[in-house]
Amino acid sequence: MCGQFAVLASLKAIKDYYEFLKDGGFMFDVDEFYEFDSDLLIDLPQETVKPMNYLPIITNRVGTVVSVLPARWGLVPHWAKDESFAHKAINARVETLSEKASFKYAYQKRRCLVPMTGFYEKGQYFPNNDERMKSFAGLYEVWEFGAGKATGIVTFTVVTCPADERVSGTHHRMPVVLDERPAVRLMSYEV
């Protein structure tokens, strides 16, 4: 389970990093990518990102057009009656994404990349091997509430998998960490 992670980069550095998506056939929405900023976001860089913090996530809401959205960590499915679900859904097991009601729709329609430079398991920090930015595989939802469901928040979850050799001595699970090529495949719905 990933309960904290680090984003040791500015918002500009995050945007610069995701330029690699152009090589995967993606286009960038000028307003929703290059001009993106939000008062909701936590201060970046950040050594300790925790559930319920707002971060920029990378999405392709409209086919191959890439956007940045401010999203709160802790997925609230579109069908949830209230936000309390978010604490139960900070992580999603890769083995059950297509089966669990909480994640099934997002897995089919709303995948995202979560920028990161390292993660924590049981208090131990695991930086990216080359200390560069990478991505967690993520899923996101837009949860609408209020009168006529006129207000909405974007929430996300981090996808987890069985731990590799580096992490297995600390915990049996870890986040799915993606380099550039697997990130393009995730956003293209090839996996």
Find the CATH number of the domain harbouring 126: 3.90.1680.10
What was the pLDDT predicted at 122?
92
Mode of pairing for the β-strands spanning 111-116 and 134-145: antiparallel
Its domain, for residue 64, covers: 4-187
CA dihedral sign, ordered 176, 177, 179, 184: positive
What was the pLDDT predicted at 9?
92
Q: What does DSSP assign to residue 98?
A: T
What is the distance between the alpha carbons of residues 102 and 74, in angstroms, rounded to a whole number? 12
Give every residue of the chain whose pLDDT is below 70, as ranges.
Answer: 1, 62, 146-150
The answer to whether the CB of 136 falls within 8 A of the CB of 158 is yes
What was the pLDDT predicted at 83?
84
Total domains present in the chain: 1
In the numeric block, which tokens belong to residue 171? 């915990």
pLDDT tens profile 49-83: 999 999 999 998 767 888 888 999 999 998 888 88
In the numeric block, which tokens belong to residue 37? 């900023």
